[in-house]
A and B are shown apart, each in its own frame.
Chain A
């Protein structure tokens, strides 16, 4: 069964460093999303992406964040200058055209020291 994959599973970085989190959505899906979950808190929407454009973003998704689909299979989230409060699980999700369900990947745990 096709699934969303994410790499790495765990990323440790120093405050102020740039990180890129990678996702491979399900192959025939065209809608992509990033969510995050700070430990002990709810899953929060960051951004949605379709047709090489951001379609919606939350107030969390400020200028430090960017997303890109660099090729036909990958979808990335870049954090330019990480802060301690960026430590969280980051989930990628994808959805097919006309589909209702957003399929989530297993997440990348980001630890900022």
Chain B
């Protein structure tokens, strides 16, 4: 079983839609949970960071962690064409980050 699983998509939505991105994980040792955004041929850029179960909001983005189910989500409200990118979930154990496969999102005008 993979440590982190993420549906790679691709996901295509109209502008203004609510987007839901999800990851599951198997290793209970993961302490911190992150969402990164990666544009084509660029490095990952941190969007959201959380370490406890529950919701964390930042503008149009909400990160949700459910440690009992080993499940994390990222919601994007009022999606914009500029949100088109690959979204990577990542989990930290010790000094290393373990990434999901990434979900490719396209927001159509």
A residues near B, CB below 8 A? 4, 31, 33, 35, 41-45, 48, 50, 55-56, 58, 89, 91, 93, 100-107, 109
A106 with B96, Cβ < 8 A, contacts A41-B101, A43-B88, A100-B49 known: no
Closest CB in chain B relative to A49 CB, distance in Å:
9
Q: Are A45's CB and B96's CB within 8 A? A: yes
| Residues of B that sit less than 8 Å from A by CB | 32, 36, 41-46, 49, 88, 90, 94-102
The docked-state distance in angstroms from the alpha carbon of A86 to that of B77 is 39
| Contact residues of B: prevailing secondary structure | strand
- Determine the distance from Cα of A4 to Cα of B32 in the docked complex, in whole angstroms: 22
| Closest A-B pairs by Cβ, 8 of them | A104-B43, A48-B95, A45-B96, A43-B99, A56-B95, A42-B101, A42-B99, A104-B44
Give every chain A residue within 8 A of B36 (Cβ-Cβ). Answer: 104
B97, A45: Cβ atoms under 8 Å?
A: yes
Residues of A within 8 A of B43 (CB): 4, 91, 93, 104-107
Contacts of B41 in A (CB 8 A): 89, 106-107, 109
Judging by beta carbons under 8 Å apart, are B99 and A48 in contact?
no
Complex formed: what's the CA distance from A49 to B36 in Å?
22
Q: Which of B44, B88, B96 has the most CB of A within 10 A?
A: B96
**Do B49 and A48 touch (CB < 8 A)?**
no
Contact of A100 (CB < 8 Å), options: B32, B94, B98, B100: B32
Smallest distance from the beta carbon of B98 to chain A beta carbons, Å? 7
* Docked CA distance A42–B88 (Å): 9
Residues of A within 8 A of B44 (CB): 43, 91, 104
